[in-house]
Amino acid sequence: MGSNPAGRANHLDLRPVSNLPISRFPVPRLEDLPEDVRARILAVQEKSGFVPNVFLALAHRPAEFRAFFAYHDALMDKPGGLTKAEREMIVVATSGANNCQYCVVAHGAILRVRAKNPLLADQVATNYRKADITPRQKAMLDFAMQVALASATVGEADLAALREQGFADEDIWDIAAIAAFFALSNRMANVTSMRPNDEFYLMGRVAK
């Protein structure tokens, strides 16, 4: 995966390794996409060595594609009180609760990479309460799961519990917003029957 010859970035092999459909809906050809969408896809291929299927499946709707990734980047790549690994923990835990195969597999891979921990993602996906995380991280995930599964019950006491663990109000917004954004993402992946790329399964599991 590390070896990604620059010469490869000018074309895109849309066939998944396993030759199975990656979406229930039409997947556009790279050359038919608006320039900015194509550029974003080529950039992620350049960086990762492959194109995560979420980019291809959502490119079917360029306007939604742009908003989706703008939202994603605003939440996942920003500075703040949560580490990047912690943000991915939120994704993996809530996606597990929503039975979203794409997000558990793809963000599980990213979590392993971000946390430099080959075990954490599988633990968090199945039962974060028993994962190798800190009490502060467990409180973070308790709240994220409440947002994912029963957001109408969120009250002042829930925010107070997070503040006791040292979370700033901006961190609380981040936790909530990530859980909320992946509520959207999980539903789109489930409805489109989005297929995780084969590459994700092994990513971050072995030292390079």
Please report, as ranges, the residues that interact with a second copy according to CB under 8 A.
18, 20, 24-25, 60-61, 63-64, 66-68, 70-71, 73-75, 78, 96, 98-101, 104-105, 108, 118-119, 122-123, 125-127, 129-132, 147-148, 151-156, 159, 169, 173, 176-177, 179-181, 183-188, 190-193, 195, 198, 201-202, 205-206
What token pair was written down for 172? 């609380």
Which three-class secondary structure state does DSSP give residue 144? helix
Report in angstroms how near the CB of residue 101 gets to a second copy at its nearest: 5
Report in angstroms how near the CB of residue 31 gets to a second copy at its nearest: 21
Report in angstroms how near the CB of residue 149 gets to a second copy at its nearest: 10
Report in angstroms how near the CB of residue 13 gets to a second copy at its nearest: 19
38 versus 112: smaller Cβ distance to a second copy? 112
Which three-class secondary structure state does DSSP give residue 52? coil
Closest CA to 52 of 64, 66, 40, 67: 40
What token pair was written down for 51? 């194109």
3 versus 153: smaller Cβ distance to a second copy? 153
85 versus 106: smaller Cβ distance to a second copy? 106
CA distances 159 to 149, 168, 180, Å, are 16, 10, 16
Instruction: Please compute, for residue 204, the number of CA atoms within 13 A of its CA located in the half-sphere on the CB side.
Output: 22
CA angle 59, 99, 140 (to 5 degrees): 95
